[in-house]
Structure 1
Amino acid sequence: MRSFFSICITSISALALSLAPSVASSAPKDIWDTAATNSGIEKKVIQSICITESGIRFDDGFRRPWPYVLNSRYGPMFFHTKEKASEMLTHLISLKVKNIDVGMCQINLEYHGHRVTNPHDLLDPVVNLNVTSRYLKELMTRYNGDITNVVAAYHTGSLGKKEQVDRGQNYVNSVIKVKGKLSQ
């Protein structure tokens, strides 16, 4: 079984080297603006979250979020096409794998699958970003607009335990680093 998944996994560096920037999903700028408006969070923070979750480096040197990504107990899997990612998602679901992160913002099916009619919809960058912005808005309410806690909780699910706080802070640091590069 492990070898089957190993065959399907493409390393980030190999994928980044083999793809031209034009192949990458560059979500239209207006959906980033919509996500920012809907969530109440700065656009560059949302972009930084997506890049932290699924970013790959392209030939032009920039990291961009990649929409055809799955992550499960078998590790991260990057696909060239939505169809290939969808095939693997179907396979993982058939194996009763529940903890699967899907798409450019890595929406977790176990905890957020109820937010879409079909899990495969999360491979669409627009749907994935809409789900992300709705969840971020909920977190903004839960954490009284404290963006550090919102970003940390996006990654950890909550901040109820020390290990979640520590893991969340490491994630926040990664997002801040990416955001700094976007601002250059």
Structure 2
Amino acid sequence: MLVILLYSPAHSGENPNPCDLAAQHAAQNSDVPLELLMAISRVETGRQRDGTTEPWPWAINQGGEGHWFETADQAISFANDLLSQDIVNFDAGCFQINLHWHSKNFGSLEDMFDPQTNATYAATYLTELFQSEGGWPQAVAAYHSRSPEQAQTYLTKVEAALTELRATGAVPPASEDMMAAADIVPRVNRFPLLQAGARGTAGSLVPLTEGAMPLFAALP
């Protein structure tokens, strides 16, 4: 997690935010609400630009310290530097997917930073958490941590982000009690990229099961 938001749709239009575009596609191909994905991305990677806070795809959190880069190449280079030091516990991309626990589900480091691939995985994982935990609030909390205190703090920030998104009209109207609903059953995953193979079982920060995952299963 990097920072929380005050959102404005000022950068929509000619230069739409890449994380928001990715969130829109992911929401269209799952039952994760668009506003929820947009709120999470702002809590995870929000940064101030021209007076507003927007998510950013070329972001890394390592050891609690956030790093933002202007290009994908810069972010990937920094990540490779960490890997060269045998540092694999860091979060990457729009939705801050943890490399140590989730890299097996990606073909490469570049894939982890790709906004669409990152958002697709986040939506699929949130869907799994919704199904196992019984509601969006529980899914959002588990996405971040299994520590009740940390999970509640994170959930509060996401709810604040949702409030701002709704207030600015930046997202289509959704049920005001979405974060309390537990009877929405997401559709079957329609992302071919994520339908096959083993999947990680950790939140963005804290693992749900024991054992490290190999880096990038598709690589030799």
TM over 0.5: yes
Structure number with the higher helix fraction is 1
* Alignment CA distance shift 1:32-1:74 (3 Å): closer
How far the C-alpha of 1:40 sits from its partner, in A, is 2.2
> What corresponds to 1:142 in structure 2?
132
RMSD between superposed Cα atoms in Å:
2.2
* Alignment CA distance shift 1:122-1:23 (3 Å): farther
Q: Tell me the secondary structure at the aligned position of residue 53 of structure 1.
A: helix
How far the C-alpha of 1:36 sits from its partner, in A, is 2.2
Please identify runs of 4+ aligned residues in structure 1 that moved more than 4 A. Answer: 20-24
TM-score (norm 1): 0.78
Higher relative contact order (CA 8 A, sep 6+): 2
How far the C-alpha of 1:37 sits from its partner, in A, is 4.2
For residues 102 and 118 of structure 2, the distance between their equivalents in structure 1, rounded to whole angstroms, comes to 11
TM-score (norm 2): 0.66
* Greater Cα offset, 20-29 or 37-46: 20-29
Paired residues in the alignment total 157
**Contact 1:82–1:123 (8 Å) recurs in 2:** yes
- % of aligned pairs identical? 28
* Alignment CA distance shift 1:67-1:24 (3 Å): farther
Structure 1 residue ranges without an equivalent (≥5): 1-11, 13-19
Quick check: 1:46 aligned with 2:29?
Answer: no
What amino acid sits opposite 1:143 in the alignment? E
What amino acid sits opposite 1:26 in the alignment? P
For residues 100 and 177 of structure 1, the distance between their equivalents in structure 2, rounded to whole angstroms, comes to 25
Structure 2 residue ranges without an equivalent (≥5): 4-9, 168-220
> What corresponds to 2:55 in structure 1?
65
For residues 60 and 152 of structure 2, the distance between their equivalents in structure 1, rounded to whole angstroms, comes to 23
- Aligned pair partner of 2:121 in 126, 131, 149: 131
The equivalences for 1:67-86 within 5 A come to 67-73=57-63, 75-86=65-76
